[in-house]
Amino acid sequence: MDPSPRSPPPPHVVLVASPCAGHVMPMAELARRLVAFHGCAATLVTFSGLAASLDAHSAAVLASLPASSVAAVTLPEVTLDDVPAGANIATLIFELVRRSLPNLRQFLRSIGGGVAALVPDFFCGVVLDLAVELGVPGYLFLPPNVASLACMRRLVELHDGAAPGEYRDFSDPLHLAGDVTISVADLPIEFLDRSNPVFGQLIDEGRRHRRADGFLVNSFAEMEPTIVEDFKKAAAEGAFPPVYPVGPFVRSSSDEPGESACLEW
């Protein structure tokens, strides 16, 4: 009598988190929930060598994950000695991720059964190239909110058709969706300082983001209904990849004073 057929392995999702506290923590929670509620296998990949404090924080977050369900991998260090002194932290992270691609590629190809999807975070957009190479979906994760993605989208649209090195100014106030506007002065400085190399990098990254199969955002529709609806219409029209508010990712710690009221809100 033939043995009963084996169940197929769960889809394996690999999440790639840049070495920032606000990125590693929500991505770790996303990985945990993919396993606990969606029957996936999940591996959270982080980087090392940028700063000892960042490495220590990432290690602490990885150690807090349920070892029985979420795998954790830290890629080997790569040299950044030739990056100009005083470079912006965003520039360092973009370069760290780019130089780590060979190590990440090697790891992904070593996974038995293959990868079902790649989920890099905002700073790791270049990992989408590996998703194309492997023939798997690539979804970008945004730790902030949907409005931040709307600002990035507007920045890129503003520069569609611009010549290399030509930078254009936002209209003020900046219109995001429906009646949602924001004062340009309230934008992060990286969106405004055209003399900073990060400005051009943001535009390049935003253009790369358009190739994503979708965006997973650490927010929820009730928090930003107008902007979420605007992205739904854009996806239906084929103007922008689908945007999925999948948060908020809050890891409860009952020993933190005053936390209960915040979570109830």
Show which residues are catalytic.
23, 121
Q: How far apart are CA 214 and CA 197, in angstroms?
A: 27
Residue 56 is encoded by which pair of tokens? 């220590």
Burial of 171 (0-12, 13-18, 19+ CB in 10 A): exposed
Q: How far apart are CA 187 and CA 89, in angstroms?
A: 18
Q: Which of 60, 205, 61, 184 is nearest to 124 (CA)?
A: 205
Q: How far apart are CA 255 and CA 253, in angstroms?
A: 5
DSSP 5: P
Q: How far apart are CA 250 and CA 215, in angstroms?
A: 19
